[in-house]
Amino acid sequence: MALKNLGEDKVFIALLTIFLIGAIGTSFEQLTGGFTLQSNEDIPIVTVFPNEVKAGEKVNVNVKVRGACVVPKVEFYFGGVTYNGERTSSGGRKAEVTQKGRFKFCKDDYELDSTNAFSLSYQTRPDWDGDYFVRVYYWTNKNTKDYLHSYFTVKPR
């Protein structure tokens, strides 16, 4: 008798599991809020080199546009951690540099190089110390503006 009930329980649990998976699968878009992932080919690539500089040295920023449009202004921010690991207030924007030529760069614009990118250099300030990042704004369609960060470290003098 007990074995017969155990077999019926397994069937009931299996049917209930199949029903729940089906219910979640058919309403997945409503559960996630209609989130869709963009193709990686649309998002720009921002790189900073070298990854570590001394205060007062130049840092280079390369922005590969790919399938998006990019604002040519690159902003520099302090990350809130000094080189020795002390946490401090990050403050606001520390500096900015702009690539001359246009108010935006999109895929295959004539000012971009052969890799669909542009590069900028900025001499860090002598008082910079710690973790910094550059921020680049971009959009893949007219309604969505987003930004990317690329990080680097500044050693104090």
The DSSP 8-state label assigned to residue 39 in this structure reads P
Degrees, nearest 5: CA angle 55-99-64: 90
The answer to whether 136 and 147 have CB atoms below 8 angstroms apart is yes
pLDDT digits (tens, 9 = 90+) for 73-131: 899 999 888 888 888 887 777 887 777 777 888 888 888 888 888 899 999 999 999 99
Average pLDDT, the chain: 82
Yes or no: is domain 40-155 CATH 1.20.1260.10?
A: no
Residue 136 has pLDDT above 80, yes or no: yes
d(CA 149, CA 155) in angstroms, rounded, equals 20
Share of the chain above pLDDT 70, in %: 86
Degrees, nearest 5: CA angle 116-119-120: 155
Which stretches within the chain are classed as H helix? 2-26, 28-32
* Single-letter amino acid, residue 104: K
CB atoms within 10 A of CB 84: 8
What confidence category does residue 149 fall into, taking pLDDT thresholds of 50, 70 and 90?
Answer: very high
What confidence category does residue 30 fall into, taking pLDDT thresholds of 50, 70 and 90?
Answer: low
Q: pTM higher than 0.85, yes or no?
A: no
Give the CA distances from residue 109 to residues 21, 52, 67, 69, 92, in Å, rounded to whole numbers and listed in that order. 47, 31, 11, 10, 32
The answer to whether 76 and 122 have CB atoms below 8 angstroms apart is yes
